[in-house]
């Protein structure tokens, strides 16, 4: 059984229950919720050594958006995508080679707007571990993971001011560096939302 927390045993069934029922999230005051392009990311979790871990990627310098940033596998919805789940699974397969058949969908978290013009639906899914990833050389430099126990320690989380290329300052979440990687921005917010949904913070 994975990751014992103060609230009890966090089984995959419990994760699914908490994700599916989590809706208590205020809007981001400084972002518009109109004219945003739909997108989705897969938020992959896996159990290793009795502990839940979160899978993340570092993007390349050649992608159009979020260059060299830590992110979840995902992207903009295509016209043929029937749902955010389909978008997330398609993008995860294209970017890191996760087969849709290998993902157990546990639920979706509330969609989040980004300063780059997307409305992103986080789709939480359990993946097998270990796993043989196949990285898209154009999109992904690296795949790595962070334990939920590390992420749930609020000493690793802070809010900083980020100045956009247009010169506007925004408050942005940052998790302190782990394994040489810094999780920040929309990916950090999605991680924070997941932790709140799972009652870990």
For the segment 18-48, what is each residue's pLDDT rounded down to a tens digit? 999 999 888 887 787 888 999 999 999 999 9
**Residue-level pLDDT at 77:** 98
- Assigned CATH for 4-150: 3.90.79.10
DSSP the chain: ---EETTEE--HHHHHHHHHH-------TTS--SSPEEEEEEEEEEEETTEEEEEEEEE-SSSSSSTT-EE-SEEEPPTT--SHHHHHHHHHHHHH---GGG-EEEEEPPPEE-TTSEEEEEEEEE--SS------TTTEEEEEEEEHHHHT-GGGEEEEEEE-TTS-EEEEEEEEEETTEEEEHHHHHHHHHHHHHTT--
Distance in angstroms (rounded) separating the CA atoms of residues 2 and 83: 29
Domain ranges of the chain: 4-150
Over 50: is that where the pLDDT of 163 sits? yes
Angle at 165 between CA 122 and CA 71, to 5 degrees: 25
Over 80: is that where the pLDDT of 111 sits? yes
| Mean pLDDT on 171-193 | 95
Q: Which residue has the higher pLDDT, 152 or 162?
A: 152
| Mean pLDDT on 167-184 | 92
Over 90: is that where the pLDDT of 128 sits? yes
**Residue-level pLDDT at 6:** 47
| Mean pLDDT on 176-183 | 95
Which of 2-16, 102-116, 120-134, 154-168 is least confident? 2-16
Residue 7 — very low, low, confident or very high, per pLDDT cuts 50/70/90? very low
């Amino acid at each position: 059984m994975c990751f014992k927390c103060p609230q009890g045993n966090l089984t995959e069934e419990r994760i699914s229950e908490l994700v599916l029922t989590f809706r208590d999230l205020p809007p981001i005051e400084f972002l518009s919720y109109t004219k945003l392009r739909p997108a989705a990311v897969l938020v992959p979790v896996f159990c290793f050594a009795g502990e839940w871990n979160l899978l993340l990627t570092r993007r390349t310098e050649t992608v159009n958006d979020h260059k060299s940033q830590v992110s979840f596998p995902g992207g903009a919805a295509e016209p043929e995508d029937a749902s955010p789940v389909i978008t997330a699974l398609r993008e995860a397969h294209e970017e890191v080679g996760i087969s849709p058949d290998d993902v157990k969908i546990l639920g979706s978290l509330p969609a989040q707007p980004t300063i780059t013009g997307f409305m992103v639906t986080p789709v939480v899914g359990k993946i097998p571990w270990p796993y043989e990833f196949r990285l898209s050389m154009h999109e992904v430099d690296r795949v790595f993971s962070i334990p939920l126990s590390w992420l749930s320690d609020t000493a690793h989380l802070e809010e900083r001011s980020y100045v956009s290329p247009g010169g506007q300052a925004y408050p942005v979440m940052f998790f302190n560096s782990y394994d040489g990687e810094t999780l920040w921005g929309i990916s950090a917010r999605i991680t924070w939302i997941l932790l709140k949904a799972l009652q870990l913070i």
